Amino acid sequence: MPSLIKKHIRRQSRRVWEYLRSDKHVRLCPICSWAGKQFTTGGEGTKLRLDSRCPRCGSLERHRLAYMVAAGPEKLDYSSVLHVAPEQELSKWLCEISNNYLSIDLYAEAMANMDITNLQIDSDSQSLVWASHVLEHVIDDRKAISEIYRVLVPGGKALIQVPIWRLETFEDITATTPEQRARSFYQQDHVRLYGLDIKQRFENQGFVTKLHRAQDFGPSLLLKHGLSFASTNEVFIFTKST
By CB neighbour count within 10 A (0-12 exposed, 13-18 middle, 19+ buried), where does 107 fall? exposed
d(CA 142, CA 202): 8
Q: Which pLDDT belongs to residue 2?
A: 55
Query: What pLDDT is stored for residue 45 in this prediction?
Result: 83
Inter-CA distances, 63 with 33, 52, 208, Å:
14, 11, 23
What per-residue confidence (pLDDT) applies to 46?
Answer: 82
Exposure string over 143-164, b if 16+ CB within 10 A, otherwise e: ebbbbbbbbbbeebbbbbbbbb
Helix axes 218-225, 2-21, angle to 10 degrees: 40
CB 241 within 8 A of CB 156: no
Provide the pLDDT for residue 234.
98
Q: 117, 144 in Cβ contact below 8 A?
A: yes
Instruction: Supply the pLDDT for residue 74.
Output: 84
Average pLDDT along the chain, 242 residues, taken 10 residues at a time: 61 61 76 95 90 97 98 91 96 96 96 98 98 98 98 98 97 95 94 98 98 96 96 98 86
Torsion of CA 109, 113, 119, 123, to 10 degrees: -90
Find out whether 213 and 164 touch, Cβ atoms under 8 Å. Answer: no
- The residue extents of the domains of the chain are 58-240
> If you classify domain 58-240 with CATH, what class do you get?
alpha beta
Q: Quick one: pLDDT at residue 50?
A: 95
pLDDT at 44: 86
Per the rule left: phi > 0, alpha: psi between -120 and 50, beta: everything else, 43 is left
Element (H, E) at 164: strand 164-166
Q: What are residue 17's phi and psi, to 5 degrees? A: -65, -40
Per DSSP, helices labelled H in the chain are 2-21, 61-71, 88-97, 141-151, 178-185, 198-205, 218-225
Strands (E), 39-88: 40-42, 49-53, 80-84
